[in-house]
Amino acid sequence: MITVFGSINVDYVFQVGSIPAPGETLLATDLALLPGGKGGNQALAAARAGASVNMVGAVGKDGRGDIALAGLRAAGVNTDAVAASDKPTGTASICVDAQGENSIVVYAGANESVSHSQLDAAMLGADAILMLQMEVPLAQMSAAIKAARAAGATIVWNLAPMQAVALEALQGVDYLMVNAIELDQLGQGLGLAATDTLHAKVTRLAELTHCSVVVTLGAEGSLGVHEGGVINLPALPVAPVDTVGAGDAFAGAFAAALDAGQPFEQAMRWGNVAGALACLKTGAQSSLPRRQDIEEHLAKLL
Ligand code: RIB
């Protein structure tokens, strides 16, 4: 069983020819209002990949919470521990350009109300996985991690979007997940040399934190360090339409694979396949693959 302790948003996705530069006004060619939030996306990705999933988070009493939760409910994610906040539902403004690249601004809103007290002891047993991102308050995530650690649960922390986090907080976790930009940002905070190679940075991060580390690299695949070994896996080649949520697809499928008893390297493979397949349609949740899709594409990873 996987419990996601994280954000739930509605995403306003603007289709644009290019990402606007500072001071530039652009006319969008399309607009979609879609469910999102890194927490919600990862919960759905894990559920689609076959895991039994609880979502712990908060939405506003503004009607948009139902939009944000619709996909999770349809996929059988347990949303009983999603609180109703007096703040507005978390909102993301997303521009997607002709190449499928994106830029995102998030207003946390109700996500600021999420509390570790919403976690139930039954969600944190020794065979449970707790997944977190960086879009709910850090103090609440730290308390959730502490509770999960005490209960013997496995903890997967996707440090997105990056913010300052103490080394001691990272040391309480089993799996850390970042993209290349977040790795650089985290490395600066931890005093890693900016000139180090990617490989050197990931290895040092794993040594410092005592965690297994995964770095997602988009079209370059992913790099992982686990029990002292380094694993470099290629991406599944696709022609991306929209890369929003690709990291969430990776994280959710990775956790679902661990939950299904798969070893670390195979979990990275599930993540690579899910991350690629998630780029084939507009929206973070619309193209999250199901377990069968992931399994069918695994053999295509070189
Ligand atoms: O990772 C993509 C997500 O980031 C979007 O769904 C948006 O809501 C932001 O949280």
For residue 191, the model assigns a pLDDT of 86
pLDDT of res. 301: 83
pLDDT score for 164: 92
Upper half-sphere CA count for residue 82 (Cβ side, 13 Å): 29
Residue 7's closest CA among 57, 46, 55?
57
Nearest-atom index, ligand 1, CA of 36: 6
Q: Would you say residue 31 has pLDDT above 90? A: yes
Beta strands in 61-133 (DSSP E): 82-85, 90-96, 102-107, 129-132
Structure tokens given for 46: 């894990």
In this prediction, residues 91-108 reach a mean pLDDT of: 93
Ligand 1 geometric centre to CA of 185 (Å):
19
pLDDT tens profile 222-243: 999 999 999 999 999 999 888 9
Residue partners of 228: CB distance under 8 A and separation at least 6: none
Residue nearest atom 9 of ligand 1, based on CA coordinates: 37
Would you place residue 292 in the very low, low, confident or very high pLDDT band (cuts 50, 70, 90)? very high
CB neighbourhood size of 76 (10 A): 11
Percentage of the chain exceeding pLDDT 90: 90
Ligand 1 center–CA 248 separation, angstroms: 8
> Which residues form the catalytic set?
248
* Residue identifier of the C-alpha nearest atom 7 of ligand 1: 37
pLDDT(122) > 80 = yes
User: Is pLDDT larger for residue 188 or for residue 53?
Assistant: 53
Q: What is the pLDDT of residues 134-158, one digit of tens each?
A: 999 999 999 999 999 999 999 999 9
Q: Which residue has the higher pLDDT, 135 or 102?
A: 135
How does DSSP classify residue 29?
S
CATH architecture label of 2-6+37-89+115-300: 3-Layer(aba) Sandwich (3.40)
Residue 302 pLDDT more than 80? no
SS3 121: helix
pTM listed for this prediction: 0.97
Please list every protein residue whose CB sits less than 6 Å from any atom of ligand 1. 7, 9, 11, 36-38, 41, 92, 104, 106, 135, 244-245, 247-248, 284
Q: Which token pair is 252?
A: 């959710």
Pocket test for ligand 1, best of 64, 244, 286 (most atoms within 8 A of CB): 244
Residue 44 CA, ligand 1 centroid: distance in Å? 13
Take residue 10 and report the two structure tokens written for it: 């509605």
Q: Where are the domains of the chain?
A: 2-6+37-89+115-300
pLDDT of residue 282: 86
More confident residue, 191 or 39: 39
pLDDT exceeds 90 at position 207: yes
272 contacts: CB under 8 Å, gap ≥ 6: 221, 222, 233, 234, 235, 236, 250, 301
CB half-sphere exposure, 170, CA atoms < 13 A: 24
Beta strands 175-179 and 212-216 are parallel
pLDDT of residue 187: 92
Distance CA 1, CA 130 (A): 9
With b for 16 or more beta-carbon neighbours within 10 A and e for fewer, the 272-291 pattern comes to bbbbbbbbeebbbbbbbbeb
DSSP 258-288: HHTT--HHHHHHHHHHHHHHTTSSSSTTTTP
Residue range 249-259, pLDDT digits in tens: 999 999 999 99
Q: Whose C-alpha lies nearest to ligand 1, atom 6?
A: 36
Mean residue pLDDT of the chain comes to 95
The mean pLDDT value for 198-221 works out to 95
Q: Give the residue, by CA position, lying nearest to ligand 1 atom 2.
A: 245
How many whole angstroms separate alpha carbon 80 and alpha carbon 300?
Answer: 38
